[in-house]
Structure 1
Amino acid sequence: MNEDVMFPRIFGSIFTGIGSIFAVIGIIFGLNTHSFVATAISAQGTIIDLVLRSSTDSEGYSSSVYHPVVKFTDRSGEPTVFEANAGSNPPAFSKGQQVEVLYNPQKPNSAMINSRFELWLLPIIFTSLGLTFTLIGGIVLIKSFPSLRSFK
C-alpha cells in the first residue's frame, strides 16, 4: 500500500474513532441529563454568592469564571446549598437573583440550576464535536478507497 493511500486511511480511522468516542460520551451525558430532568423535583432557589474560580494553562494563560452558589429548601423543609457546576465570565447570575432549581429527591445536594447552559452544555459540546470528527474522518476514509468513490 503506498503512502498516498496510507495517510488518509490512518487519519480517517483516527478521526472517526475519536469522533465516535466523543459522540457516545455526549449521548451518555444527554441521556443522564434527560433522566435527571425527568425524575428531579423543582424548587425555587436564590443565588447567595458568586465564587470566582481561576485556572492557568500550560502556557501561563489565566482565566476566571464565576460559579453561582444557590440556596433552596427541599420538599422536606431542609435548606440546601450547592455550587453550580457551570460558571461564566461575566457572571450569568447576580446575588439575590431567584432561580429554578432541579434536584434529586433522594440526594438534594445533587442539584442544578434549571437552565439550558447548565443542563445541556456538555452533551451538546461532546455530541457536536464527536459527530463533526466522525463526519470528517468518515469522508476522508471513504475517499481513500477508490472502489467506493466510483460506486454510483
Structure 2
Amino acid sequence: MEIDVQMHGRASRPWIAFVLIALGAVFLVLGLVLAGATSSFLSDAKRTRGSVVALEWREDDHGEDHTPVAYPVVEFTSADGMPRRFQSSTGSNPPSYEKGDRVEVLYRADSPQDARINGFASLWLLPLIFGGTGLAMSVGGTAVAMARRWRS
C-alpha cells in the first residue's frame, strides 16, 4: 500500500508544476491586461480636484477578520460644469482619506462617471496583485519542474 501512495505522489508531481505554471500564466496575463487598461485610462484621463465628502464603511469578507473597511466617496466638478460623485473601488482600514480631504481626481471626459482617485492603490493595486501572484506562481512551478528534472 505504501508503495502505491509513493508512486501516485511521484506521478502527480508533474501536474503540480503544470498547474502552477498555467495558473501563474493566467494571473500574469490578467495583471498585464489590467495594467494596460490603467495605462489607457491614464493617457485619456482629465485631471481635476475633488473632495472626500464621506467614508462608506463596509465589512469585507476577506479572511477570518470581518473588520470594516472605509471607501472614500468623492465629489468633483467635471469639465462640462456638472457636479459628480463616485465611490472609490479601493478601501482600507485605517482609512487612507478623511472626510474633507482634497484629492486629485482622474476621469474620462466622454464618461465622467468613470472616475478614480489619483493614487497608487486605486490605479495600480489590482495589476500588481494579479501580476505579482502570477509571476510568483509561474516561477514556483518552473522551479518545481526544474527540481524534478534535476533529480531524475
Q: Same fold by TM (over 0.5)? A: yes
Q: State how many pairs are aligned.
A: 146
Q: Residues of 1 paired with 2:129 and 2:62: CA distance?
A: 20
Q: Where does the alignment leave 5 or more consecutive residues of structure 1 unmatched?
A: none
1:32 maps to which of 19, 22, 37: 37
State yes or no: 1:133 paired with 2:137: yes
Alpha-carbon shift at residue 64 of structure 1 (Å): 1.1
2:22 maps to which of 17, 20, 26: 17
Deviation readout 1:29-70 (Å, 9 max, x if unpaired):
0000000011000010000000001134686x4121000000
State yes or no: 1:96 paired with 2:96: no
Whether contact under 8 Å (1:44, 1:98) holds in the other structure is yes
Whether contact under 8 Å (1:5, 1:144) holds in the other structure is no
Which residue does the alignment assign to 2:4? none
Q: Secondary structure of the equivalent of 1:52? A: strand
Which residue does the alignment assign to 2:82? 78
Specify whether residues 87 and 13 from structure 1 end up closer, same or farther in structure 2 by C-alpha distance, changes over 3 A only.
same
State yes or no: 1:110 paired with 2:114: yes
Q: Residues of 2 paired with 1:136 and 1:51: CA distance?
A: 39
Deviation readout 1:119-145 (Å, 9 max, x if unpaired):
000000100000000000011112323
Q: Where does the alignment leave 5 or more consecutive residues of structure 2 unmatched?
A: 1-6
Alpha-carbon shift at residue 21 of structure 1 (Å): 0.6
Deviation readout 1:59-100 (Å, 9 max, x if unpaired):
6x4121000000000011000000000000011001111000
Which residue does the alignment assign to 1:8? 13
Q: Residues of 2 paired with 1:72 and 1:7: CA distance?
A: 56
